[in-house]
Structure formats: structure tokens, C-alpha cells
Amino acid sequence: MDMRTYRTRRLMLTSASFVIFCIGGVSTLSVILPEFADMHGWEQTHLMWVYPTLQIFLMLGGVVSGKLIEKYAISRVMVASGIIFATAWIIAPFLTSLPLFYVVFCTLAGLGAGLAYSPCLANAQKWYPDKGGIVNGILATINNLSIAAISMGLASVLIPFFGSSTASIVTGVTYLLLMGGVGGFLRTPPDSWRPAGYMNPSDANSSASRGIYGDLTSREMLRTRRFYLMFAIMAFACVSGATLLGASASIARTQLFTNPDSELAQSFGGFAVATTTIGAAVGSFIIGIIYDRYGGHRSLLLILCTTLVALLVMSQSFTPLPFFTATAFLGLCFGGIFTIYPPFLGHLYGRTHLGSNWAIMYLAYTISTWLTAPLLSILRRDEEGQETYTLTFYGAAIITTAGLLLTVVLMLAVRIRHALRTLRRLLRLENFAQNLALRSIATQAKDNDTSTGPKKRLRSYLHALHTKKLSPRKKNREP
């Protein structure tokens, strides 16, 4: 790899990092939504479906972006996504009606983020097929750190000094400059390009974009049975993390203190949010390294086993040390899921259509965010005091166990497939050897009896064929 290509790869990763940083602003709605509710007189409970609704449009934006990337340059898609995403934040203070806020803000913010999110991840995988895990881990780490940075900037500086309206407008202008400006530098590598020394898992002579099962479109991917197993595993694996992100502060205040409304309890609630975010950021990087070394199946197994143990520990943790330790590990595993899935999809189904393929897989996380509401409402027991969320953790543990079992099934299916492929190769080699021996016998009979005519030689060959009980091998079939 020459120095120019090396610098180009670094520039593409840097540009993608700025875009991913801005998309992290989607998860900071919990900071600014209460301010909008107070300003417009909305009920706080009416805002609980803003984030799940936005996630639906984010997924749709990712699907649309996959089609747009096939027709237009990625730089144009980034500029368009930056304009749409920034517009949502700039006009948000002026949406005084709650239904209008749901329709306009959720649609624009979700579509804008979705148009940028999937192409950025897919483009990074195309430039770094040899380091897919660690590169996606870097981007996921930046995404998680951006949540903390943007939240602190809004809560500590912009909202206290300038108000929520100005804070939202300033944030939108910043997103426009970073996503539309820096994202405009993104370029896709040539179709036949691959890093020096990189060996494609499916074909050593093919391009870096090809996966084990080929370079599949979204429609072709949906026809494979493996996709639905991976989809269910991701949905089950994300439930615990989505539950923790949605109620980490409330869980910490309720489970660690008999008086959840005390000042100390509120400070510990904020610390729980920070612990989850930092754990997700660290986990994104660590799990990326593990993925590059051990592969997707083993990484998934490790994440789900760790999640299950952390949930069981957290259900019985009523003191800070075990509680925050379990919280950190849950955040770590949650960040790891989003680290390994994009490169794992590219490894299996190819990287040319990875943007739209990942957008479809992202629907699994959207479903998990809708599953958290029953866990936090139906299984919650307010009369139990510090054990209010115990049943919630047990429910999440059962769902995680289901994901763990599906992962084992997926691994067994891969092993069985490899065993059958090896068996077919052995049978093919054995058949080739037998046919080779048969031809040798026929040739020897021909050499020993050169005085006979063609009819007798043909009769001798057919007799040898009948003795060996083999069918003649097709000439156009390779061994």
C-alpha cells in the first residue's frame, strides 16, 4: 500500500468519525426534551415514544440511503443528510404542537441520521476490510463519547446560558457544518480495490467487497435463513442495553436508596448514566479487537454470556460497587453489539450493499427499544421498594438466554455446514481416484491387446466398468 492510499484511508475514517459524532446527538434527546415540554406545556409522559418513533425513521433512512449510494456519490448523500438532520434541530423550538413535533422532528431527525449512519459504517468497512472490527469499534466509541460530550454541552453551557431554543438552533448549525461539510469529503474505493496482503475469505482473487456468501443485495440477503437467526439474536441482545439506557438513572436511585428523591440518589443516578455511556464506549473498542482476532460467532457468545451474568448480578445488587460494576459490563456488551454486527454482515454478505443491509438489520434494535416499555412498566413493582426492578432484570435475562441459545444454534449450523462441505470434497476426491484407477485399467488392457479391433476393446472397457460398478466420469466436470 503506497503512502497516498494510506493517507486516503485515514482521511475517510476521520471524515466518517465527524459524521458519526453528530449522529450521537440522537441519544441526547433526554436532555432537551424536558425543556421543550416545560416551554410548550407538554406532559413528560407524552414524550416517552419520541425516541422509539425516531428510531423507525432512522432505519427507513438507512434503507433509502443504500439505494441512493448506488446512484449518487456518497459525498452528495452526506450533504443531503446533514441538511435534513440539522433542519430538524433548528426548527424544533418552533414546533409548539406535540403531534406536529412527533411528525416533523422525528421524521426529519430520523431520516437525516439514517441517511448518514449506514453509509458511513459501510464505507469504512470498504476501506478497511482487513481491520473491520477495530475500525467499527473506533466509530462506535466516538458515537458513545459524543452522547456524553453533547449532553454535557447542552446541560452545562448552552441551555443554562442561552435557553433551550437557542441551544437547539446552535446544535443544528453545528451538525450542518460537520455532517454536510466534513462528510462531503467521503469517497468510496474502486470496486476491484483491496489492501495489500488482504486475502478475501471467499476468494483470494476477488475484490475486498465480496463476502463468504457473495456480494448480496438486501433482497438476496433476506432469502437466506442465517439472516433471520442473526436478526433475532441482535434484537434479544439489545434488550438489556436498551432497558438500561432508558432507565439507568431511575434504576440506580430506586435500587441503591430507600429515598430515591434525595440529592445523593439523584447524583448517583447521573453517575449511572455516565457509567453506562463510558462502558459502551470502552466496550466498542475492546470488542472490536476481540472480533478481529476471534471472529463474529465467538464474540457474540462472549457478549451474551457476559450480559446474562451482569443482569443476574444487577438484580441482587443493592450497594454501589456491584451495581456499577454490573452497569459498566452491560454498557460494554451493548456497545460491543453495534461494533461487531456491521463488519460481521460485510464478512458474510459482502460490503457493496452493506449500507442497506445494515439498515435492515438495525430494525432489530428498533424492535428491542419497543420491547423495553413492557419490561419497564409491566414487570416493575413500585411496592417492592429497592427490589422494584428485580423482575425487569429477570425478564431481560430470559430474553438474553434466548439470544444465547440462538447463537449456539447458529454456531452449530456453521460447523455442520463446514462438515458437509468437507465430506462432499472427500467423496469427490474418492470418486476421482476410483475413476482414475478405472481409466488406468482400461488403458492397460488396451496396451496389452493391441491386435484386437475397436469392438473388442470397447467390450473390454465395458467389462471393467461393470466390474468396478462405477459410472463414467463426465469430461467437463472438474475433480
The pLDDT value recorded for residue 275 is 83
Cell numbers 455516565: residue? 274
Neighbours of 337 (CB within 10 A): 28
The pLDDT value recorded for residue 307 is 94
Nearest to 32, CA basis, from 95, 82, 113: 95
Q: List, by residue range, all CATH 1.20.1250.20 domains of the chain.
A: 1-190, 210-427
The pLDDT value recorded for residue 469 is 46
User: Do 479 and 428 touch, CB atoms closer than 8 A?
Assistant: yes
What residues pair up with 211 in beta bridges, in sequence order? 214
Superfamily (CATH H level) for 1-190:
MFS general substrate transporter like domains (1.20.1250.20)
3-state secondary structure the chain: CCHHHHHHHHHHHHHHHHHHHHHHHHHHHHHHHHHHHHHHCCCHHHHCCHHHHHHHHHHHHHHHHHHHHHHCCHHHHHHHHHHHHHHHHHHHHHCCCHHHHHHHHHHHHHHHHHHHHHHHHHHHHHHCHHHHHHHHHHHHHHHHHHHHHHHHHHHHHHHHHHHHHHHHHHHHHHHHHHHHHHHHHCCCCCCCCCCCCCCCCCCCCCCCCCECCECCCHHHHHCCHHHHHHHHHHHHHHHHHHHHHHHHHHHHHHHHCCCCCCHHHHHHHHHHHHHHHHHHHHHHHHHHHHHHHHCHHHHHHHHHHHHHHHHHHHHCCCCHHHHHHHHHHHHHHHHHHHHHHHHHHHHHHCCCCHHHHHHHHHHHHHHHHHHHHHHHHCCCCHHHHHHCCHHHHHHHHHHHHHHHHHHHHHHHHHHHHHHHHHHHHHHHHHHHHHHHHHHHHHHHHHHHCCCCCHHHHHHHHHHHHHHHCCCCCCCCCCC
What does the pLDDT profile of the chain (479 residues) look like in tens digits?
Answer: 455 555 778 888 889 999 999 998 887 777 788 888 888 888 876 777 788 788 889 888 888 887 888 788 888 999 999 999 999 999 999 998 989 999 999 999 999 999 998 888 888 888 888 777 788 888 888 888 888 788 778 877 888 888 889 999 999 999 999 988 888 888 888 776 677 666 655 554 455 567 778 888 888 999 988 899 999 999 999 888 887 776 777 788 888 888 877 777 767 776 777 788 888 888 888 888 898 888 888 999 999 999 999 999 998 888 889 999 999 999 899 888 988 998 888 888 887 788 788 888 988 988 887 777 777 777 777 777 777 788 888 988 999 999 999 999 988 887 787 777 777 777 776 666 666 666 666 666 555 555 555 556 566 666 665 555 444 444 443 33
The pLDDT value recorded for residue 458 is 60
Cell numbers 493391441: residue? 450
Q: Give 210-427's CATH code, choosing from 1.20.1250.20, 3.30.230.10, 2.40.160.40, 3.30.470.10.
A: 1.20.1250.20
pTM given for the model: 0.70
Q: Which three cell numbers stand for residue 426?
A: 472427500
